[in-house]
Structure 1
Amino acid sequence: MPLPNRVDPFGEIHAVPDRGLFMGNRGGCIHTPDQTLKPRHWTSQRWIICVLDFKGRKRPLMQPGLYTELFFLDEATALAGGHRPCYECRRPDALAFRAALDKAGRVSAREPVSHVDALIAGEIQSVMKGDCNRETVDPAALPDAAFFTLGGEAFLKWGNTARAWSFGGYGAPAPLPARAQRLTPRATCAALAAGYRPTLHASAN
């Protein structure tokens, strides 16, 4: 049976067999000893995106008391779900992401990474807790690789098209709607608009 460790663009976690291109975590252990999820699906605002292979490290998934390994179709999916690049295994990407946030005026060079996490994971946590609603936007105004939702489905904005998301990849290009709800956090959208280029699943092209 697949483990409940696959994240969608809404930031929700599912049990599906597809693994995806990236893994990550949410700051600690969010699963029980029998490998089911705890009621709250994070331990902090440190939500990161990691590579699948780093220095030959290998470990059984969802070990008792250790951090919960999560998996994403691609980096754009992980970004939409409130994660950001890891400073250990993806340091060049993490620095590029931070530089894009700086360029966009979302953070200053003096602010710690915890401030970035509060802007990004913090926004998704607020939505999940019901403290705020997702923003209604014109999808054409979103940067490429940002996500929006319409009718309960998630879509990647790519060029002037909408690409329906699934755990296995993206659908065919379709016209952008006039209005939808933004999924990718506001600060992450600013980084994308300022030039950060996430890795996309091959089906996006």
Structure 2
Amino acid sequence: MTTARASTPRAGTKGVPRADREQQILDAALEEFGRHGHAAASMAEIATRVGVTKPLLYTYFGSKDGLYAACVDHIGPRLLTTMEEAMAASGSGQEGLPHAVLTALFRALEGRRHAWFVLYDRSLRAGSEPWSAARRHREAVDALAATGTAALLRAQGNDDCLDADALKHIWTGTVGALIGWWIAHPELSAEEMSARCARLLAAVRTGV
């Protein structure tokens, strides 16, 4: 005698509400685009990850460019809000600002670490829809970074605008490098990365 197995809706079946299905597609696409970049990413792989057909992706998002732009518009504001909240919470304690922002980013990216690189994809064609979307959010993130690094320098009596601009580029590169290193060490949680960065920042301050 066989027992009937309870049926539960798979991702991409008609039993899944459209909003939930779109979220599943965005999560899978963020991973695929973040890992491989727009040019090398596979729409077929994204569909397979979700359990839907490739034509459904085009029905929902129109094109590969449209899906990429949707991913950028999904993750960009979240990262921006995360940074804004961390900076506001740090208040006047500028020394702790870099660690506060890093910790907030690690927590926001837990489970979707590759998403950061969707904003910084060099394979995007200049002038395309995804390039414009990524540039818009990247400039917003860079503006926040500029505000933070300028505040750090002012706290040390340095108002040199070129120093501030150079430090912003160093900071943005450092964030990307740390997230890349974190991806290579999947066993480390966001909190473990936060603790590690606290030690590294302390070492840098001591050395300086």
Q: Tell me if TM exceeds 0.5.
A: no
Which structure's residues are more often helix, by fraction?
A: 2
Coarse TM-score class (shorter-chain normalised): 0.3 to 0.5
TM-score, structure 1 as length reference: 0.33
TM-score, structure 2 as length reference: 0.32
Which structure's residues are more often strand, by fraction?
A: 1
Which of 1 and 2 has greater Rg?
2
